Amino acid sequence: MDVQKDFVTTKDGTRLAVYSAGSGPGPDILLANGLGGNIDAWRYFVDDFSPFHRIITWDYRGLYNSGPAGSGTDYSVGAQVTDLRAVLAHFGCERIIAVGWSMGVQVAFELERQHPEQVLGLVLINGTYGRPFSTAFAPVLGRTPVMPMIPVVMKLVESLAHLAEPLQPYAQKVTQTKASLRVLRALGLVSASLDEAMFLKLASQVAGLHMPRYMATLNSLGDHCAEAVLPQVDVPTLIITGDRDLFTPVSQSREMAKRITGAELLVIPSGTHYTPLEFPELIHLRVQKFLRERLGFERMAASAA
């Protein structure tokens, strides 16, 4: 994965780490990360698509190699889209195919809401259209009294997040063990086909993040709703999910496909919230088909040229 790294400073003073790979003839592809991911999570996607497209992405404000919010407190999805547009301007992108995973799905919807002229198409992976705390773990918790308590608990965790900092080195060590994977599999959070080495690397990186900023971002995401955007989407849209995703259940993807005109849906059997690390080849083939049939980009023609 040959990736170039740079930095961009936004209008509110946030210093963002930005990345690019490839310079192919196809349309530019913007990768919008999940909250627990960075460009490493897209390794296989970048390797497969960068010979044919320029791939660009960035670290969300306050996470990984990006600095804290210049405003001091704004980690909302709206702020992420303002950052996203600064990234597009830096790379000279006018229109892009937005590929979002998890939180990135809501970021992509917000870009479509605010600046639809910049969106050529949407690929939405393991996401929802709003207020994810209201549906997370619904296949397990159902309509139990626990569900309404999730946002309250998450706000409490945010207020105490600074207390976790001394424990982070230990958390990073724990997340690097195979025992942690066995627990996650037993809980149904990952599947047997998961790329274990890559997942453990990402989990260790998450455990080392600045927890107050991480929780502020997570709770801002929990307040975000893009339901009103769905009927307004008028670009080709591909939705991908796993039938065992507990964080953003498959019912959310089916609802998105129903409400977005012409949307296509791929449900991967045995896939969890981490389908890009469980079934990368399947996802890549489906995205290639989508680009060919809905956006007119043919890899073979590009290779011949």
Dihedral angle sign, alpha carbons of residues 170, 36, 89, 79: negative
Among 221, 54, 61, 235, residue whose Cα is nearest residue 129: 221
Summarised one tens digit per residue, pLDDT across range 80-117 is 999 999 999 999 999 999 999 999 999 999 999 999 99
DSSP class of residue 225 equals B
What's the average model confidence in pLDDT over 271-292?
A: 97
Residues in Cβ contact with 47 at an 8 Å cutoff, skipping those fewer than 6 apart: 1
Q: Which CATH architecture has domain 4-304?
A: 3-Layer(aba) Sandwich (3.40)
Mean pLDDT, to the nearest integer, of 184-198?
87
Q: Are 259 and 170 in contact (CB under 8 A)?
A: no
Domain boundaries, the chain: 4-304
For residues 167 and 52, the model is more confident at 52
pLDDT confidence of 206, banded at 50, 70, 90? confident
- How does pLDDT run across 208-228, given as a tens digit for each residue? 888 889 989 999 998 999 999
- Judged by DSSP in three states, 131 sits in coil
pLDDT tens column, 224-281: 999 999 999 999 999 999 999 999 999 999 999 999 999 999 999 999 999 999 999 9
Amino acid in position 186: A
Distance of CA 186 to the CA centre of its chain: 24
Nearest residue to 113 via CA among 87, 84, 75? 84
